[in-house]
Chain A
């Protein structure tokens, strides 16, 4: 039994290996890029819009709303990064309904790459917002004693982010494989439905956690003023 799509080799020449993860990732990137090009090519600002434009607007506006609810006011700045993460993971997990497809998120190399993207982006946003001194000072809060623990937390949460997504997706395909051996027809269908739900929830959680980390790096100034603005609504 294959543990991940890394072990599914399509083509190999020397040490260059074209495994399932790479092929499916590129296929997904093609689908995403071609799909968004096809849709955005005919965008209009008129009163009647096409169905696809409506769908894309709903997705983008909802992602923006989620970013604002976490407490980041300038949602447009983070929309590209977090939206890409969410869309890629969500599409990768949803495409499991296509037969013969294996989610690239079920391989530790993909999830580690995504987690490293978050690991790099969080300090970048923090430095952009607070400056070098302000960002580095946030590691020594509340006291200087907490410095090693803060650094450790930064590393361990990156690891957790990668292993969580990998474990969830890998367990989905693994359980499906085992159930196909034991009870071939009904149960795998139900479990693959559950797998779709888990995939969406994991995509949501990955992007929300990335947002929470960015919000923590940016600092409490923005978050508190955001809370003041959101007070009358509750």
Chain B
């Protein structure tokens, strides 16, 4: 394999792996957070507004991990700096 193929293959595969592994952790975390919030809601329905607000903020915090992974995988696929470098070199030759 030449350099170009290696870079392309590594980018695509690692984009998939990034998204795959990066979705597991936040998924588990969000599930735990929602479960905790639901049991809290069942115990104290009066505090629903506070619990919901805190839950949303917490979910956003957890979700941002998955979003970082998504952004990185999108950069690897659509705006890959290494790939652009290779393309520029190939064009220069």
Contact = CB atoms under 8 A, between A and B. Distances in A.
Interface string A68-100: 010000000000000000000000000000000
Contacts, number: 46
A171 B67 contact: yes
Contact of B68 (A163, A201, A234): A163
B47 A234 contact: yes
A167 B64 contact: yes
A164 interface: yes
Given A164-B64, A167-B68, A209-B60, A3 B79 contact: yes
Main secondary structure of the interface of B (DSSP, over half): helix
Main secondary structure of the interface of A (DSSP, over half): helix
B78 A1 contact: yes
Contacts of B89: none
Contacts of B79: 3
Task: Give the size category of A's interface with B.
Answer: 20 to 34
Interface in A112-145: none
B56 interface: yes
Interface string B31-63: 000000000000000110110010011001001
Interface of B: 46-47, 49-50, 53, 56-57, 60, 63-64, 67-68, 70-71, 74, 78-79
Interface of A: 1, 3, 66, 69, 160, 163-164, 166-168, 170-171, 174, 201-202, 204-205, 208-209, 212, 234
